[in-house]
Chain A
Amino acid sequence: MNHTQYKEMLQLSVLRELGDEEQQVLARHLQACEACRKELEELVKFSTLVHQRGSFETSDELLREARQELRVAIRLERSRRSGWEEFLEKFEFLVSPRVRMAVGGVAMLAAGVLVGRLGMTPAEEVPGIGVTPAMSSDASLRGETRISNVRFLNPEPVNGEVEFTFEAVTPIRMRGQVNDPAVQKVLAQGLMNDQNPGTRLKAVSTLGNFGDQSMVPDHEIKSALIQALKSDANVGVRKEALRVLQRFPLDKEVRDALLYVLRLEENPAMRIDVINALEKPVLDGQLRDDDVLNALREKMQSDDNNYIRLRARNVYEEVRQQ
């Protein structure tokens, strides 16, 4: 074995990557080689230096921020997927790649025509009022199309021709009963996709302030509320979603969402609200299964909030005594 190989072994030894046998070979060599002993000393010094001076721990705060931002990104991803991609996935088995290409072409053409109509219509000719057929409420009013984010694709116009992209947004006014499924669906979409937390909060409370307690909500609306409860970036929206969901029948989906929040929600006030929401159905026996009891036991043993541990213990002990 040559000297270079011993030097490599020294590095591996410092990194605790040598087997017992190799370690013994190296130890024998070190006894006889002054240069390698010095090299080992240097390597240990180097290793200590880079560990002490170059290392840092990831803080809980950073992790919380990263999780929060990921939730928002996943929500956006999901809403994107729920549109066109899911449509394609559903019908994937029906269409061959050729047909898909053709459909794609037609869709592009249609999009082009639509954008052309929206973008090229002179402002005064944009219809001020119109009924949106997709909405069955008694009146839907459309405002002017706003063009924004114009981006030039060819910065230097050639022969007077320009090429650019833009976004066209058309505000739509809608009026209808809150229990109208069309209204509810729009609000649910707003709850899932709107960037403004104030709007999302308003959407949740509107969905919750009307309708009787026993009504069975549309699945899409319930999903939107559950989604908001579990992952909305704004605690106010999550709290409101919890309040509204409590008005609905306590089925498996709602129960799972409550347990999810109890286990993973970072805001202690939310966890307390969930324990309060669970208390009555648990004590009544309406909701008393292993999952619920385990979640309560988990909280009473390991939650970092004293009050939550106490509340969870009270409910848990009361159930045990029954």
Chain B
Amino acid sequence: MEFFQVGHNLFFNQGSNSVSQTGNQNEELMLDLDLITKARQGDAMAFEQLVYRYDRQVLSIAARYVQSAEDAKDIYQEVFLRVYRALPKFELRSEFSTWLFRITTNVCLTHRSRRKRHTHASLDRESDEDHGASLSERLTGSDTADQHAEGADITFHVQKAVNALSPKLKMVFTLKHYEGYKIREIADMMECTEGTVKKYLFTATKKLRNELEEIF
């Protein structure tokens, strides 16, 4: 039951502690189960519905982790292709959402950026800024005026500092600070102990504070 509630909080109602949600939790799990069963029998519609239940969260984690729209789409696609291939063998011992988000963090951690794959990728600041602007544009759909405002420089420094973290530190920091997951949920996703997650968070915070010391 505890595991069930963890899963629920993790993926459906972050921040919600309402007891009255229990009925919905069961319904959500039953719906997942129903869709998984149908998808395994080759029902493409069921698979797509299953994807649509979680894909915004997957894309959000990916986008905030890689900070690149194109890379986020690559990760999104890789995650769901892995799910598609492995669904027939998925054992219902854990929740689908738990399994899915484990795949997501794994794919993020092993993802090789498109920029790194291209030998001509420039590492200078101007190029990074260009990239940041294009990303924000595509992620928020907002105009670029904000990118040139006073705060753009701070944004650039924060994003650069977060990007400079090691993959695991960056993953934990992203999941906690930008996605709002609880530490126990992150531990579940990354298949490690809560203590390890805390250690990563403390280390990431220390590094970022050092890096951004001049800003605040």
Interface residue ranges, A against B (CB under 8 Å) = 8, 11-12, 15, 17, 42-43, 45-47, 49-51, 53-63, 65-67, 69-71, 73-74, 77-78, 227, 230-231, 256-257, 260, 264
**Which chain A residue lies CB-closest to B177?**
A50
The docked-state distance in angstroms from the alpha carbon of A67 to that of B73 is 9
Chain B residues 174-216 with CB under 8 Å of chain A are 176-178, 182-183, 198, 201-202, 205, 208-209, 212, 215-216
The docked-state distance in angstroms from the alpha carbon of A227 to that of B158 is 45
**Which chain B residue lies CB-closest to A260?**
B45
Known contacts A12-B198, A42-B209; 9 further A-B pairs (Cβ under 8 A): A49-B212, A49-B216, A53-B154, A57-B140, A59-B140, A73-B81, A74-B81, A74-B84, A77-B81
A313 to chain B, nearest CB (A): 24
**Which chain A residue lies CB-closest to B160?**
A54
Chain A residues, CB < 8 A from B135: 56
* A62-B59 contact, Cβ under 8 Å, with A46-B212, A55-B64, A55-B178: yes
Whether B34 sits at the interface, judged by CB under 8 Å, is: no
**Which chain B residue lies CB-closest to A68?**
B73
A155 to chain B, nearest CB (A): 17
Interface residue ranges, B against A (CB under 8 Å) = 44-45, 47-49, 51-52, 55-56, 59-60, 63-64, 69, 72-73, 76-77, 80-81, 84-85, 135-136, 138-141, 151, 154-155, 157-159, 162, 176-178, 182-183, 198, 201-202, 205, 208-209, 212, 215-216
Instruction: Give the secondary structure class of A's interface.
Output: helix
Chain B residues, CB < 8 A from A8: 198, 202
Chain B residues, CB < 8 A from A74: 44, 47, 80-81, 84
Partner of B155, one of A47, A53, A256: A53
The docked-state distance in angstroms from the alpha carbon of A275 to that of B216 is 57
Interface centre among A11, A74, A227 (most CB of B within 10 A): A74
**In contact, A58 and B44 (Cβ under 8 angstroms):** no
**In contact, B176 and A58 (Cβ under 8 angstroms):** no
The docked-state distance in angstroms from the alpha carbon of A194 to that of B193 is 48
**In contact, A46 and B52 (Cβ under 8 angstroms):** no
**In contact, B56 and A50 (Cβ under 8 angstroms):** no
Chain A residues, CB < 8 A from B76: 66, 70
Partner of B77, one of A56, A60, A70: A70
The docked-state distance in angstroms from the alpha carbon of A18 to that of B81 is 38
* A63-B151 contact, Cβ under 8 Å, with A50-B177, A70-B77: no
Partner of A69, one of B73, B154, B209: B73
**In contact, B56 and A17 (Cβ under 8 angstroms):** no
Chain B residues, CB < 8 A from A54: 155, 158-159, 162, 177-178
**Which chain B residue lies CB-closest to A61?**
B141
The docked-state distance in angstroms from the alpha carbon of A42 to that of B215 is 12
Partner of A46, one of B48, B80, B182, B208: B208
The docked-state distance in angstroms from the alpha carbon of A63 to that of B72 is 10
Partner of A50, one of B59, B69, B158: B158
B38 to chain A, nearest CB (A): 11
Chain B residues, CB < 8 A from A67: 51-52, 55
**In contact, A62 and B138 (Cβ under 8 angstroms):** yes
B47 to chain A, nearest CB (A): 8
* A11-B158 contact, Cβ under 8 Å, with A45-B216, A55-B178: no
* A62-B202 contact, Cβ under 8 Å, with A69-B73, A256-B45: no
* A231-B155 contact, Cβ under 8 Å, with A45-B216, A50-B162, A62-B59: no
Partner of B52, one of A56, A78, A264: A264
Top 10 A-B pairs, shortest CB-CB distance:
A54-B158, A53-B158, A59-B141, A260-B45, A53-B155, A66-B76, A58-B60, A66-B73, A56-B139, A53-B154
A229 to chain B, nearest CB (A): 11
**Which chain A residue lies CB-closest to B60?**
A58
A81 to chain B, nearest CB (A): 9
* A49-B158 contact, Cβ under 8 Å, with A8-B198, A17-B182: yes
